Amino acid sequence: MLYQLCYRSRQAQEMDWPTLSSIIGVAQDRNLQDDISGLLLWSEPQFLQVLEGPRDSVSNCFMRIARDARHSRIELLCMRAVASRLFPDWRMRAVRHMNLHAADRAHLLRKYGSLDGSEDGPVAIPEDENLALALLLDFMHLARGLPGGDEVSTPP
């Protein structure tokens, strides 16, 4: 049976895109072994991630994340059985809100709000699990429109 876990957190320390890309590279290798797929949204200083796969694999992955000193204020939004994956082809992708086109960022800011109240600030990560998953799906679809197809784990 497949499980889906979604959480949000904050950066506990400064981070740049090359560092995050390196972390994602390691996660992709591990997730391939553990049959996990998912998406990580980085809207500085916030993270929103969904993990999908076998229950034990997803739980163990989340426990590693929870122990990682680079995260703070980790909040589990959902852990549930699902019939299918939302991100079946992505062993783990990272999407940075600033990588999206300006018009797409503006659309997401109108839809979800800004963390800092500005017109071009980081997109606010919703507390509601359904809105959080909708935000991830919005990012997935908008990212696929970027050059390079669905691969957005590259610097802006």
pLDDT, averaged across the chain: 87
CATH code matching the domain that covers 2-143, chosen among 2.60.34.10, 3.30.70.100, 2.40.30.170, 3.40.50.720: 3.30.70.100
Residues 6+ away with beta carbon under 8 Å from 22: none
Q: Give me the sheet containing 71-82, strands edge to edge.
A: 71-82, 2-11, 46-54, 37-43, 93-96
Q: Return the closest-CA partner of residue 80 out of 57, 61, 52.
A: 52
145 confidence band (pLDDT: 50, 70, 90): low
Q: What is the pTM of this model?
A: 0.87
pLDDT in tens, 9-60: 999 988 888 888 888 888 888 999 999 999 999 888 999 999 999 999 999 9
Q: How far apart are CA 15 and CA 28, in angstroms?
A: 19
**Domain extents for the chain?**
2-143
